[in-house]
Amino acid sequence: MEAIGASCSEVFKSSMCGAGCPLLETLQTGKPIIGKSGYIINQEGDKIPISISTAVLKNEFGEIIGGAETFRDLSEIWSLKQALDKRSHVGNLTSKSSLMQKIFEVIPAVAQSPSTVLILGDTGTGKELIARTIHEQSGAKGRFVAVNCSALPDTLLESELFGYKAGAFTGAVKDKPGRFDLAEGGTLLLDEIGDISPALQVRLLRVLQERTYEPLGSTTTKRAHLRIITATNKDLGELCRKGLFREDLYYRINVVNIQLPPLRSRKEDIPLLVEQFIQRFNVLQNKQIDRCSPETISLLMAYDWPGNIRELENVIERSFILCTGQEIEIHHLPQEILRVRQVPVSADIHSAHDLLDAQAIMGALERNNYNRLAAAKELGIHKATLFRKINKLGLQIPKSRS
Amino acid sequence: MGAAAYSIQGLRIAPVCDTADMVLVIPSTGNTLQVCRHQYPTFEEFLDRLEELEVDTLVCGALSRDLQYRFAAHEITAIPFICGKVSCVIEAYQAGVNLHECFAMPGCRCMNGRTRRTRRQRHARI
């Protein structure tokens, strides 16, 4: 009874209601839609995956008099799909790389434990994203707060982390909660932990051990009910040996350790990441770019990515600015990536493979002063195979310097 | 009292908050403004913006539990499963009317004014 006369979108509560209404599309085009996926939200707030099919209703004269919509509950299929996807997805993280899948396997267990986590990895490998995923998977009701420890001078960092009371120092006119306060019940990420001063290391050690802290100028102790995740691109073990990082703090934060591989070790993820960035920048920059051309992907795969995923993201962002069509082409890429283009690139699926081959061969030849026999030995292939590949790829090799 | 936000689609409350793009923020003092969710790269940044505007209540249509928890983490209490003309809902809310009695979405009336409460809200009431 409640549904009669009500708007269908308010009855169905489907993700497709509104701008993407399939029934409206069918009524406008006269064409049926079959199996469009989405979800509905039930009264308990659960998302129920569904597929929708639509058709027009016509009278005996062939005139459209309305439309029909059928819903199919996909909960069972979805749960099976999720079980399969679990191996390549965790939260917002997606990867096909075996190195990342090992990390994905431990994240759910890590998320459920309250232990301190240390995330190691080169700059731009996604340390904050991993920390955020651990927070989201943990089901913690508090918020995720990230602090870059190297971005602030020591005195400021202390007040930023622990907060201060009014009158604690000149200019402190009212109480300010610290990041520990803001992350109460949630997760605090201390990024670039390797850069904090010895004095702050001592304070942090105390918080980690006692789970208590005092805001600046306060005489009362506060309890810290939160998970702490630390991240760094530095070798903390080495810093400990040099006496720059406290060993006791290192052992305290290194309860669970996640080592993120650089992008050059997981190049199979590049097409996937590119696709994600394209979707993201389409929304942010209000563009309709569909994809990268196969040649562009080949070049992206051949590049070494010293700046890792952040660099890839910047390259795609730059290409978005220059690209006026629907496809990102080679000429939209920056010079440093175009430099890896040593062989003519063809637009077939083997071009990425060829580029990688060419790069490996050129690298081996350069290291061995263009001695083909030595290069073939280094590459672990027969010299005849090397000659065949050089000819096939059309590489211009200078004569051996020796 | 903080600001109230309304998840909208045209002149009505958006049927599904999870996919809605526009939020109308009515502060206790000052001008009404619209916040477009997809202007923010991440949902967290959108929540930060709402927090900056001192939003403490969100009136919306269907809302998934995950999203409700995320609003709650930013001290925003959701009043979900509301439908109707935005102007009428705002008027009723400002007059202190129980929105679930007059503006509940079809099939959600049995909630009789109860919203799904998060653990934080339950504790707050105690």
The answer to whether residue B36 neighbours chain A at the CB level (below 8 Å) is no
Same domain? For A111 and A241 the reply is: yes
Rounded Cα gap, residues B4 and B99, in angstroms: 13
pLDDT at A342: 56
Rounded Cα gap, residues A64 and A52, in angstroms: 20
The answer to whether residue A285 neighbours chain B at the CB level (below 8 Å) is no
The answer to whether residue A18 neighbours chain B at the CB level (below 8 Å) is yes
Can you give the CATH number for the domain in which A36 is found?
3.30.450.20
Contact across the interface for B74 and A13, Cβ inside 8 Å: no
Instruction: Please check the confidence at residue B118 and state whether its pLDDT lies above 50.
Output: no
Rounded Cα gap, residues A254 and A230, in angstroms: 9
Residue A334 lies in a domain: yes
Contact across the interface for A10 and B72, Cβ inside 8 Å: no
pLDDT at B117: 47
* Burial classification of residue A236, based on how many CB atoms lie within 10 Å of its CB (0-12 exposed, 13-18 middle, 19 or more buried): buried
Residues of A in contact with B100 (CB under 8 A): none
- Average pLDDT value over all residues in chain B: 84
Selected residue of B16, B45, B67, B117 to mutate for chain A interface (largest A Cβ count, 10 A): B16
- Could you give phi then psi for residue A38, rounded to 5 degrees? -175, -155
pLDDT at A105: 87
pLDDT at A92: 73
Can you give the CATH number for the domain in which A378 is found?
1.10.8.60
Residue A274 lies in a domain: yes
Rounded Cα gap, residues B15 and A206, in angstroms: 49
Considering its fold, how many domains does chain A have in total?
A: 3
Same domain? For A272 and A242 the reply is: no
Same domain? For A72 and A114 the reply is: no
The answer to whether residue A11 neighbours chain B at the CB level (below 8 Å) is yes
DSSP letter at B121 equals H
Residue A1 lies in a domain: no
Same domain? For A283 and A188 the reply is: no
- Could you give phi then psi for residue A363, rounded to 5 degrees? -60, -45
Average confidence (pLDDT) per 10 residues, chain A, 402 residues: 83 85 89 89 90 91 88 86 68 80 89 92 91 90 90 86 86 87 92 91 90 88 91 92 92 92 88 88 82 88 89 92 89 84 53 73 81 84 87 77 52
Selected residue of A13, A23, A138, A287 to mutate for chain B interface (largest B Cβ count, 10 A): A13
* Burial classification of residue A24, based on how many CB atoms lie within 10 Å of its CB (0-12 exposed, 13-18 middle, 19 or more buried): middle
Can you give the CATH number for the domain in which A151 is found?
3.40.50.300
The answer to whether residue B71 neighbours chain A at the CB level (below 8 Å) is no
Residue A294 lies in a domain: yes
Could you tell me the residue range of the domain that residue A120 belongs to?
93-259
Report all structural domains of chain B as residue ranges with CATH numbers, in order of start: 3-125 (3.30.420.130)
pLDDT at B110: 57
Same domain? For A177 and A155 the reply is: yes
